[in-house]
Chains A and B, each alone.
Chain A
Amino acid sequence: MSSARKHIEFELNLIPFIDMLSACLSFLLLTAVWSYIGSVDTHQAIGSESTSGANNPPSLSMQIEKDNSLTIDLKDIKTQHRHFVISSAQGKVDWVKTEKLVQSVKKQFPQIETSVVMAKPGVSYGNTIKAVDTLKKNEFKSVGISPI
């Protein structure tokens, strides 16, 4: 009985299976670094949803000029310094200074959660999105884009 059982024993060859898994693993690890596409989300008030009559919450408005200089204004908040100007660096928006300023504003006034980006004619779409991204990164929950 035992000798008969021994005769029908066989082993599954696992080597091709391991080869296949290794190939899959290498492929997935290499493609993991490919860039992803996502979306920057904004919400817009429609019709009667506007805040007319309501108290305006403290807000930050960021205006990008055609020469890539940037103006930041704080609204509905008690402070002496409400107006900041960041000059362009070599013709481009100085995102390093902008980021630092936005960080310091958020640190000083954490109650500001609303912000609006305004782009003058001639400002690129990329810079407008970068401004929205900078504000979202610094935990401004409600970021809008306003046409000028």
Chain B
Amino acid sequence: MKNIITNPSIKSPLTSGYLFKKSGKKRKSIEAVITLTSLIDAFVIIVLYLVICNSPTESNVEIDDSIMLPQAQHYSQLDDSLVVTYRDNQFSIDGNVIREENLSAEISRLSASFFSTLKKESAIILQADENIDFHKLQPFLVASAHAGIKSVKFAVHQQE
């Protein structure tokens, strides 16, 4: 196998890729070199920009794909908060079903431990299907108020 260091007569495929030579008498004068460095720079900048812009949330909030969330145009980014899920007529936190009468105490207990580590204002996120009766969610609103949660957030999809 030929080595480019020991055998300098081998032409680099890259160099030959750069040069577009027109056959003829004035061949040397019309050589064109495409500089790939600037192209790579542009690509890197676009990729970094897209990577930063495409990260939809800063949080590790798990959203249940089986729930059809309501749509909204005016929404804010989800951040790390306690998530309450309403599905099959039951409230649950982290997959553990919680009875309505214990909801306030559980929210209070979990939010105390959750927000003491994050040192943020207490907030809670509700994810529920858009087609359910809103009145079924009222125990959650009452329980979160009893638990001293000031900010209630409703998980939504971006409206198309």
Interface residues of A, Cβ cutoff 8 Å to B: 6-11, 13-15, 17-18, 21-22, 24-25, 28-29, 31-32, 35-44, 46, 119, 121-130, 132-133, 136-137, 145, 147
- Residues of chain A within 8 A (CB-CB) of B50 are 25, 28-29, 32
- Residues of chain A within 8 A (CB-CB) of B15 are 11
Contact of A38 among B5, B39, B72, B133 (CB under 8 A): B72
Are A42 and B152 interface neighbours, CB within 8 A?
Answer: yes
Q: A40-B154, A43-B150 are in contact. List 6 more A-B contacts (CB 8 A).
A: A7-B5, A18-B39, A18-B40, A22-B43, A121-B133, A130-B70
Are B134 and A125 interface neighbours, CB within 8 A?
Answer: yes
6 nearest A-B residue pairs (beta carbon) = A126-B130, A38-B75, A28-B50, A39-B153, A21-B43, A129-B70
Question: A124 to nearest B CB, angstroms?
Answer: 6
Give the residues from 52 to 98 in chain B that come closer than 8 angstroms, CB to CB, to chain A.
53-54, 56-57, 63, 69-78
- Residues of chain B within 8 A (CB-CB) of A46 are 145, 148, 150
Give the residues from 35 to 54 in chain B that come closer than 8 angstroms, CB to CB, to chain A.
36, 39-40, 43-44, 46-47, 50-51, 53-54
- Residues of chain A within 8 A (CB-CB) of B69 are 37
Looking across the interface, which residue of chain B has its beta carbon closest to that of A24? B47
Contact count band on B: 35 or more
Looking across the interface, which residue of chain B has its beta carbon closest to that of A122? B133
Are A41 and B76 interface neighbours, CB within 8 A?
Answer: yes
The complex places the Cα of A29 from the Cα of B51 at a distance, in Å, of: 10
Known: A29-B50, A126-B70. A38 touches B135 (CB 8 A): no
Selecting from B19-27, B101-109, B112-120, B136-144, the interface stretch reads B136-144
- Residues of chain A within 8 A (CB-CB) of B14 are 11, 13-15
The complex places the Cα of A98 from the Cα of B5 at a distance, in Å, of: 76
The complex places the Cα of A124 from the Cα of B71 at a distance, in Å, of: 13
Are B134 and A119 interface neighbours, CB within 8 A?
Answer: yes
